Structure formats: C-alpha cells, structure tokens
C-alpha cells in the first residue's frame, strides 16, 4: 500500500509528447526520402525559377512590386529570399529542403487532428497518407517548392485552431495562407463555420479581426496600393470568366482524371464518409473545407496539377476517418499502396517531367555569366525565368516574364488575340523601368518558339521594336534564342 501511495504519478505530458515526436520523425524521414529528387534536379517548373529570380532581386535590395513583381501575394518570394540568404546559395534545393520540413509539419498537424477525432491509428494513417499524397503528381507539380506547399501549412493550422475554439488565431493563420496564395482565403468558410458554432457572433468577429490584422500589417509594409493591384485588381485577364473555353474544359477533364487516378488511395475511402449520415454531420467542417478547396482549384479556370494540392488536407482527414473504422487489413493495404505509389512517383522525379516543354536555358545562361557584370541588367523577352535565375543576371524591368505585356499566361494556348488583355499600365511601367536601367543584353525567345513565345515577336510591338532597331545589334543565336547587345544608351 505504501509503495502504491509513494509511486509517482505517470507523466501524461511525456506520454503524449513521445508518440508525437516519433510520428514527426517518421513523417520527416518519409518526406525526405520521397522528395530526394529535389536535391539533384535543378528546376522542376518555371514557378520555382520565377520565385528564385524575385528572391535574388530582393536580396540585392530590390522591393517587391517595385523592382520585381508577380500577380501573387508577398509571403513566398520573401521566404525564398530568406532561405537563399540563410543557406548562402540560390540553388533551389535549399527551398525544397524547407518545403520538405513544411510538408512534414503539415502532416503532423493533420495527424494531431485525426488523433483528436479518431485515435492513434488514425493519426499515423493521416500523416503517412498526407506525405505520400503530396508527391503523387507529375514531378513538376509534386516535387517543386510551389506556392501551395507553403500555403497549406498555415491553412491547416487555421482549421485546427478554429476546431479548438481559437477563432482569432485561426483567422490569423488563414491570413498567412492567403499571403502565400490568394486561394488560401477559401478556408475562411470552414473556419467561419467552426467559429460561429463555438462562439456565435463573437467568434465570427474574432475570426474577422484575426484575418484582417496580418493583411493590414503586410499591406503597410509592401504598399497597400501595390498589394491590392498586383494580388487582386490586376488579375482580370488571368481569372476572367471569359477564359472558359473548350480548351479549358478539356484541361479540366484531363487534369481532374489524372488527379483522381494518382490519389486513388484517398478517394477510395471518401464516399464511405459521405454515406454515413451521422459521421457526415460530425465532419461538416471537413466537407466545407473540401468544398471550398474545390472552388479554389477551379477559380480562374487554370487547372495546373499543383493547384489540386489544396484538396489534399481535407481529403486526408476524411479518408483517415473512414479508415479508423476499417479493418486492420484494409488499413495496411491502403497505406502500402500509397507508399509504393509515392515511391514510384518519386523515382520518376529524377528524370521524368511530363506535360512540360522544359526549355534549354543552360547554354544561354552560361553566355550571360561570362559577359554580364554585377551592375548590368538583362531583358529576356518571353516566358523563361530560368535564364535570370541560372545566370544571376538582374532583370531590366520588374517583369520577370512577358505575360503582363502580352496577356498570355500558362494554362491557355498562345494566341495573337491575348495582346489586348495585357495588364493595365504594364507597358508604361515596362518602358519606365527600361529607361531607368537599360539592359546590356536582350534575349528574344520568340524565334525558339518556347512556351508560346512565337506568337509574340518583338516586331508585334512597334515602340519596343524601334528601341531595338536604334540601340541594339544582333550578336548570335543560342538554342534558337536571339541575343542582342546594347550599342548606345537607350532612350525611349
């Protein structure tokens, strides 16, 4: 009896912490293995090199939206810049390493939520399925350090915080997701539902306040007018409803079917969750999360593979809930299929990048490395940000690609008609930047017909062509890319 009285009480903190730590270590190791191609493949898609170029400009003292711009919020470009500076390199393996950790942490959050709802087995299932699902795409979507990977961590945190009765913090987390990519705001729907269910009007008010404060702070830092225009108002040609076409319908059908095939281990278990009426009521927040994510993926009618990543967190939790009630054999088979499939996709990542006309940028980048001084500027006419990133040459204008000027964006066939859809005011900004720091070299990619550039030769834009005729001379062509060198100071 005395021994029982004097025996120390079990340390519940350690009982919880040790399994959680073990789970995180496993998820981090699994993510590291599945994302191993990121250590050896220089570039998976143009978004990475675009962000890498922006990061180089920022680290050289440039300002987002003033010296380099994109139609995205500011969080990810600055994350790239901080990562490059911390690792002392502009190699993309550095941000992919950060992305690997982010994937593991997101998986841990999903596991914690699955544990809260369905127990320890569901936690392990959710975490492993998540890490596997993130690479079960074409490698340029599943292996790259995309906007979505960094968006989904704060988004998932927002849902978990709302489910735990912290609506203000949940709103702040969704704001961070929105500052990574605009579609992060879609998660406000399930967060608002949870806030209203737990705290009524006061819960909604706290959510709104938590969401607003980070946005206002960041707007003050980068400039509210610039943030509003480049991240919201200037996106008309990109997200306009007139973008719908048979081409878009075909892309939707193709990419959605491919996503469904790749994510079969998850999708197989989701209908069961829907058929169970009692479970469906208890998991209404997850269904709202999935529905809002579907809207976010479809927004703008650009069905890139990595856009579908936004569907994965609610899908993982819904599948984990179904598997929590399934047999041990079913759980083992599902996890085994997911792991084997993920390993296969990972192996493809070392050498296969389908559905992408990856340009040959290395030779022309080496040409610039040998000739461009640190103070020189370069203009790449076309859609190859890889040249800026690989050469380290600073862009002469804030536009890393010419889509703002030509109205042509990925996910659409190149067409002469898009010129009328150029971003309002972009040409004025282009020529102002050009005059302030004229490029030493202009690289015209239209003769190489890369990513639709053949539809937008410089000759289609008379004012720019006049500048080229007066101040530049043709030097040579490398891999079809025409190189022009400045011979006289440029004036508009």
Which of 287, 322, 348 lies at the terminal end of a domain, its last residue? Answer: 348
Residue located via tokens 């282009």: 430
- CB-based contacts of 314, cutoff 8 Å, min separation 6: 286, 287, 289, 290, 293
Same domain membership, residue 445 and residue 299: no
Beta 377-381 vs 394-395: how paired, if at all? Answer: parallel
Name the pLDDT band for 7 (thresholds 50, 70, 90). very low
Express as a percent the part of the chain with pLDDT over 90: 81
Beta 441-444 vs 481-486: how paired, if at all? Answer: antiparallel
Average pLDDT, integer, range 333-357: 86
Range of the domain at 414: 362-486
pLDDT at 237 over 60: no
Same domain membership, residue 329 and residue 394: no
Name the pLDDT band for 243 (thresholds 50, 70, 90). low
Same domain membership, residue 463 and residue 388: yes
| Least confident range of 98-102, 166-170, 231-235 | 231-235
d(CA 474, CA 342): 48
Name the pLDDT band for 5 (thresholds 50, 70, 90). very low
Same domain membership, residue 130 and residue 213: yes
Structure confidence by residue, pLDDT tens digits, 38-51:
999 999 999 999 99
Indicate whether 91 belongs to any domain: yes
Which of 348, 373, 390 lies at the terminal end of a domain, its last residue? Answer: 348
Name the pLDDT band for 10 (thresholds 50, 70, 90). very low
pLDDT at 311 over 50: yes
Specify the pLDDT at position 355.
Answer: 53
Structure confidence by residue, pLDDT tens digits, 91-145:
999 999 999 999 999 999 999 999 999 999 999 999 999 999 999 999 999 999 9
Residue 479: exposure state from Cβ atoms within 10 A (0-12, 13-18, ≥19)? middle
- CB-based contacts of 325, cutoff 8 Å, min separation 6: none
pLDDT at 467 over 80: yes
Q: Give me the number of domains the chain comprises.
A: 2
Indicate whether 184 belongs to any domain: yes
d(CA 64, CA 9): 55
Same domain membership, residue 67 and residue 148: yes
pLDDT at 53 over 60: yes
Same domain membership, residue 255 and residue 112: yes
Same domain membership, residue 93 and residue 127: yes
Average pLDDT, integer, range 192-220: 97
Nearest to 179 by CA among 146, 219, 234, 224: 219
Rg (CA), the chain: 25
439: helix, strand or coil: coil
- CB-based contacts of 435, cutoff 8 Å, min separation 6: 490, 491, 492
Same domain membership, residue 437 and residue 387: yes
pLDDT at 385 over 50: yes
Same domain membership, residue 117 and residue 70: yes
Indicate whether 367 belongs to any domain: yes
Specify the pLDDT at position 236.
Answer: 62
Average pLDDT, whole number, for the chain?
91
Specify the pLDDT at position 206.
Answer: 97
Average pLDDT, integer, range 382-397: 96
Indicate whether 5 belongs to any domain: no
Average pLDDT, integer, range 433-457: 94
Torsion of CA 232, 233, 235, 237, to 10 degrees: 160
Same domain membership, residue 274 and residue 366: no
Indicate whether 353 belongs to any domain: no
d(CA 154, CA 182): 13
Structure confidence by residue, pLDDT tens digits, 185-204:
999 999 999 999 999 999 99
Indicate whether 420 belongs to any domain: yes
Specify the pLDDT at position 272.
Answer: 86
Same domain membership, residue 308 and residue 389: no
Indicate whether 3 belongs to any domain: no
Nearest to 232 by CA among 456, 30, 49, 74: 74
Whole-model pTM?
Answer: 0.92
Same domain membership, residue 387 and residue 335: no
Indicate whether 1 belongs to any domain: no
Specify the pLDDT at position 360.
Answer: 86
Run of H or E residues at 441: strand 441-444
């Amino acid at each position: 009896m005395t021994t029982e009285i004097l025996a120390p009480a079990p340390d519940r903190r350690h009982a919880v912490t040790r399994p959680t730590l073990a789970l995180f270590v496993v998820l981090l190791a699994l993510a590291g293995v599945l994302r191993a191609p990121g250590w050896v493949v220089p570039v998976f898609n143009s978004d990475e090199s675009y962000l890498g170029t922006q990061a180089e400009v920022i680290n050289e003292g440039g300002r987002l939206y003033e010296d380099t711009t994109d139609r995205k919020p500011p969080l990810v470009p600055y994350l790239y810049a901080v990562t490059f500076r911390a690792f002392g390199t502009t190699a993309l393996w550095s941000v992919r390493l950060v992305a690997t950790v982010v994937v593991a942490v997101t998986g841990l959050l999903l596991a914690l939520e699955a544990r809260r709802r369905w127990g320890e087995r569901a936690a392990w299932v959710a975490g492993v399925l998540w890490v596997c699902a993130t690479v079960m795409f074409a490698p340029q979507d599943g292996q790259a350090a995309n906007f979505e990977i960094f968006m989904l961590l704060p988004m998932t945190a927002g849902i978990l915080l709302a489910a735990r009765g912290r609506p203000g913090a949940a709103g702040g987390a969704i704001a961070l997701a929105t500052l990574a990519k605009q579609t992060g705001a879609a998660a406000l729907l399930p967060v608002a539902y949870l806030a209203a269910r737990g705290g009524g009007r006061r819960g909604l008010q706290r959510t709104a306040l938590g969401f607003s404060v980070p946005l206002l702070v960041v707007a003050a830092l980068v400039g509210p007018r610039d943030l509003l225009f480049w991240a919201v108002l200037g996106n008309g040609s990109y997200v306009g409803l007139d973008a719908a076409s048979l081409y878009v319908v075909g892309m939707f059908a193709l990419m959605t079917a491919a996503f469904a095939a790749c994510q079969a281990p998850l999708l197989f278990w989701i209908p069961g969750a829907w058929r169970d009426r009692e479970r469906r009521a208890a998991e209404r927040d997850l269904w709202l999360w999935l529905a809002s994510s579907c809207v976010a993926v479809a927004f703008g009618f650009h069905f890139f593979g990595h856009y579908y990543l936004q569907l994965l967190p609610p899908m993982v939790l819904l599948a984990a809930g179904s598997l929590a009630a399934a047999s041990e054999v079913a759980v083992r088979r599902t996890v085994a299929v997911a792991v084997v499939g993920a390993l296969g996709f990972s192996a493809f990542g070392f050498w296969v990048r389908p559905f992408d006309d990856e340009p040959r940028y290395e030779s022309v980048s080496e040409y610039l490395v040998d000739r461009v001084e640190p103070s020189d500027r370069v203009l790449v006419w076309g859609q190859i940000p890889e040249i800026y990133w690989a050469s380290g040459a600073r862009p002469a204008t804030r536009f890393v690609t010419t889509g703002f000027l030509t109205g042509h964006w990925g996910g659409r066939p190149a067409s002469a008609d898009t010129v009328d859809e150029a971003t309002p005011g972009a040409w004025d900004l282009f020529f102002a930047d050009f005059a302030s720091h004229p490029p030493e070299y202009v690289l015209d990619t239209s003769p190489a017909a890369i990513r639709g550039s053949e539809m937008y030769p410089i000759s289609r834009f008379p004012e720019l062509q006049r500048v080229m005729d007066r101040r530049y001379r043709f030097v040579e062509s490398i891999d079809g890319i025409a190189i022009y060198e400045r011979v006289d100071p440029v004036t508009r």
